A and B are shown apart, each in its own frame.
Chain A
């Protein structure tokens, strides 16, 4: 471990670490608010996906995780009984970086939102 002196922030203070539980709460609220009674329509869903990603990113920014870079990914698909599998792997510093995700489903669509936070030394 690097020795810290002169308060150079090479790792986040525990209070300002990326907290998956907190971010998951944000994602849940935004998604439920925006998608609870929405039906899948090809024309509108494209724009909805984009704006959902922007909203989640803005909300996570307000949480003020200092020196963190944020990546938000939103996936919306139609429900037609097909099989879907999504997986992610990350090469990062497990000490400082983390991710949060949430899945939402109603009878016509499913939505997966993932937020990755990476600390900038």
Chain B
């Protein structure tokens, strides 16, 4: 191939790429074929954010589309047991405990590799005969998003962990 020809091909290909990114080429091609060539920007953004948050390459949508309450509840219970399993309420350690419970729960949830953003909330209260109430109200897509609250207690304290999962 002559250099001029190669140069022309390279130049043209580069020009095509540039036009693709700006949308002009896309419109020109769709005008000639009659079909619309579109990129799903929302899907690409979701995959990019998923990759950034979890370090995994891709998520597979499909059966993992909905939040699984039971599985999450079991997972969180294990995390709580692991951190405050056999201990009594200790004012100096409470900070550390809540941070650890929340961190471990989040890490295990992320390992599942589902396309969700998570909010994990943990409350530890000393047992003193006082009452505690918690309620939540959510504005989201009820088919894909969900929450799960786990109540745990031992002789000296209560622990309540809430997990909210919002689909990406």
**Chain A residues in the interface with B (C-beta under 8 A):** 2-6, 8, 10, 40, 42, 45-46, 49-50, 52-54, 56-57, 60-61, 69-93, 97, 99, 114, 116, 118, 120-121
Contact = CB atoms under 8 A, between A and B. Distances in A.
B149 to A, nearest CB: 10
Interface in B63-112: 89, 91, 94-95, 97-99, 102-103, 106, 109-110
B141 to A, nearest CB: 7
Contact of A71 (B42, B46, B132, B164): B164
A69 B139 contact: yes
B44 interface: yes
16 contacts: A56-B137, A69-B140, A69-B145, A71-B164, A76-B132, A77-B125, A77-B131, A82-B125, A84-B126, A85-B97, A86-B121, A87-B121, A91-B118, A118-B119, A120-B167, A121-B46
A118 to B, nearest CB: 5
Contacts of B119: 71, 88, 90, 92, 99, 116, 118
A85 B97 CA distance: 9
- Tell me the interface secondary structure of chain A in the complex: mixed
B41 A2 contact: yes
B134 A91 contact: no
B120 A89 contact: yes
A54 to B, nearest CB: 5
Contact of A91 (B53, B129, B137, B138): B53
A76 B125 CA distance: 12
Contacts of B133: 45-46, 49, 75-77
A75 B134 contact: yes
A84 B140 contact: no
Contacts of A60: 139
Contacts of A40: 131
B46 to A, nearest CB: 5
Nearest to B167: A120
Given A54-B137, A118-B166, A80 B129 contact: yes
Contacts of B46: 121
Contact of B23 (A6, A74, A97, A121): A6
Interface in B118-154: 118-141, 145, 147
